[in-house]
């Protein structure tokens, strides 16, 4: 009696073993690394509020203090959107006068202790480094205590919105 291999009852089906040891080793190393770097990258993010579209309906608001810091090529202006300018700080020989700006912002924080938001408005050709330094000055006040040799940091206006500076009468922003 001749049996055909195809139709036989004893059909062997060999399954190949899948070796996933190398893949598991990779995952054991990769997952903690990705989790650790994700946490550190989250700590360095600064959330900003960008201006909304102008087509939104404007609701009448009561006149409240709205801090604006306008960075121009030759000066920094501090003002209230409703009342106008509160201070103008021309550039020194070393560049922008961040110390005078910090002093003015500290005074404003004492006057309005619950206020946490501010708008930083920039002219067109302002360097990114200048934006970062102005934002740091607006967010936190730093005082050096020489007796105890430490830096005391006080929160000023941490909720920052950025935008374009209003155009001056001369035609340039």
Domain regions of the chain by residue span: 67-164
- Start-end of H helices in 44-144: 98-111, 128-139
Cβ–Cβ contacts within 10 Å for residue 133, how many?
Answer: 16
The pLDDT tens digits for 63-113 are: 688 889 999 988 999 988 888 888 999 988 888 888 899 999 989 889 888
Answer whether residue 19 shows pLDDT above 90: no
* Token pair listed for 106: 């500290």
**Buried b or exposed e, range 44-80, using 16+ CB within 10 angstroms:** eeeeeeeeeeeeeeeeeeeeeeebbbbbbeeebbbbb
As a residue count, the chain comes to: 173
- Decide: 36 and 43 in contact? Cβ < 8 Å: no
The pLDDT tens digits for 114-148 are: 888 888 999 888 888 999 999 989 888 887 777 76
* Distance from the Cα of residue 119 to its chain's centroid: 13
Work out the percent of the chain whose per-residue pLDDT is above 70: 75
pLDDT at position 18, please?
82
Can you name the CATH fold of 67-164?
A: Nucleotidyltransferase; domain 5 (3.30.420)
């Amino acid at each position: 009696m001749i049996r055909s291999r195809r139709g036989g009852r004893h059909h062997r089906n060999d399954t190949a073993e899948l070796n996933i040891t190398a893949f598991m080793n990779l995952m054991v190393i990769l997952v903690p690394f990705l989790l650790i770097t994700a946490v550190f990258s989250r700590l360095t993010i600064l959330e900003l509020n960008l201006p909304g579209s102008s087509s939104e309906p404007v609701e009448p608001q009561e006149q409240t203090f709205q801090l604006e810091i306008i960075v121009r090529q030759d000066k920094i202006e501090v003002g209230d959107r409703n009342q106008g300018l509160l201070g103008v700080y021309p550039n020194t020989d070393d560049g922008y006068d961040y110390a005078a700006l910090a002093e003015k912002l500290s005074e404003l924080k004492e006057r309005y202790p619950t206020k946490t938001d501010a708008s930083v408005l920039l002219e067109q050709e302002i360097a990114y480094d200048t934006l970062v330094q102005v934002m740091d000055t607006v967010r936190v006040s730093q005082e050096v205590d020489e007796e105890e040799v430490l830096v005391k940091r006080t929160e000023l206006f941490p909720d920052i919105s950025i935008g374009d500076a209003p155009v001056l009468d001369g035609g340039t922003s």
